[in-house]
Amino acid sequence: MAARESIADLKKRAGKVSRALAKLYPEARITLDFETPWQCLAATILSAQSTDVGVNRVTPGLFREYPDARAMAAADRRHVEELIVKTGFFRQKTRSLIGAARKIVEDYGGEVPSEMEALVKIPGVGRKTANVILGHIYGKPGFVVDTHVRRLTYRLGFTKRTDPAKIEIDMQKILPARDWTPFSMRLILHGRQVCIARKPDCERCAVARDCPKIGVRTAPRG
Ligand code: SF4
């Protein structure tokens, strides 16, 4: 179905899906708790392979001890590991947090940069984290691709690609820039609650009429 659709038709269908999801999930924000750009970056790094609820349990303690990049750049590695151990992969995440903080202090005077090109050069920061920061902190459109977005954009027939950077490009062609961040946030929520990986609940899905359900009956995609 997707292969036969013109860009105009894809835009129209994406618009319908976008409006339906906006009604379902009006609060289109990431569910991580943070107050500053650094805290947004740190929480997003911690969210890899962990739930946002789990991250929100450890960040109050972490941010009390290390409230900004300067504090984290000088942190004791073992102490950080202890504070974040419950989020999993804590050694790797500690390396990312301290490495990111040092880069931000050394190259950007302690301020999280606001350009994709600079953000992805920071240790532990990929395009997903960079787009979260652009969209949530700097008000710049960023299409966030995580495992849910990858699965849903495929099932919905909006892309056939699996590389997050290419999915971003496909989605940017069919959605207005103002919708990039909120639409991707809503896909994440829909992927968690309805279009789950192993058993999508198509019968109670609000966008079922506009979804070709590609790949639903074959092997589920991450
Ligand atoms: S109709 Fe099914 S496959 Fe399509 S978005 Fe809804 S739950 Fe997912």
- Three-state secondary-structure class, residue 90: helix
Residue 1, pLDDT > 60, answer no
DSSP state string for 129-166: HHHHHHHHTS--------HHHHHHHHHTTS----SHHH
Residue 126: name the closest of 48, 202, 181, 179 by CA: 48
Rounded to an integer, the average pLDDT of 152-158 is 97
- The percent of residues above 90 in pLDDT, for the chain, comes to 91
Residues in contact with ligand 1 by the CB-under-6-Å rule are 152, 155-156, 194-195, 200-202, 205, 207-208, 211, 213, 216
pTM for the whole thing?
A: 0.87
Please, are residues 192 and 198 in contact by the beta-carbon 8 Å criterion? Answer: no
Question: Which residue has the CA at smallest separation from atom 8 of ligand 1?
Answer: 195
Which atom of ligand 1 is nearest the CA belonging to 208? 1
pLDDT tens for 57-97 read: 999 999 999 999 999 999 999 999 999 999 999 999 999 99
Q: Residues 154, 159, 161, 164: is their CA dihedral positive or negative?
A: negative
For 183-216, write each residue's pLDDT tens digit. Answer: 999 999 999 999 999 999 999 999 999 999 998 8
> Which domains, and CATH codes, for the chain?
7-28+144-210 (1.10.1670.10), 37-136 (1.10.340.30)
Pocket mutation for ligand 1, best pick of 17, 147, 155 (most atoms within 8 Å of C-beta): 155
Residue range 108-139, pLDDT digits in tens: 999 999 999 999 999 999 999 999 999 999 99
3 has pLDDT over 90: no
44, 97 contact by CB (below 8 A): no
Q: What is the pLDDT of residue 4?
A: 75
Average pLDDT for residues 149-156, to the nearest whole number? 97
Q: Mean pLDDT of all residues in the chain?
A: 94
Are 146 and 188 in contact, with CB atoms under 8 Å apart?
A: yes
pLDDT score, position 211:
97
- Catalytic residue list: 128, 146
How close is the Cα of 86 to the center of ligand 1, in Å?
Answer: 32
How far apart are alpha carbons 97 and 45 in whole angstroms? 7
Specify the pLDDT at position 2: 44
